[in-house]
Structure 1
């Protein structure tokens, strides 16, 4: 996963290690890009372990 220099990069890396945050379709961290509802739902599904 590639990380952009951003204040949330460390948090995103921790979530990526737990397979909660997977990045975009190319596995890139894009902190300034909006999430879709589908992406947010998948993120929460993985975060809650459902």
Structure 2
């Protein structure tokens, strides 16, 4: 989960593009966009497993 949050913050910090972040963290751009959407909707809790 830490890697997911790092990738999200790397994009949200506004320095890197979706493509750059996806390559850096070796994830699909679509997956990255889904993570960011979930984070924007529910914050950290979107990735917290109960």
TM-score normalised per structure 2: 0.33
Higher relative contact order (CA 8 A, sep 6+): 1
**So what's the TM-score if we normalise by structure 1?**
0.33
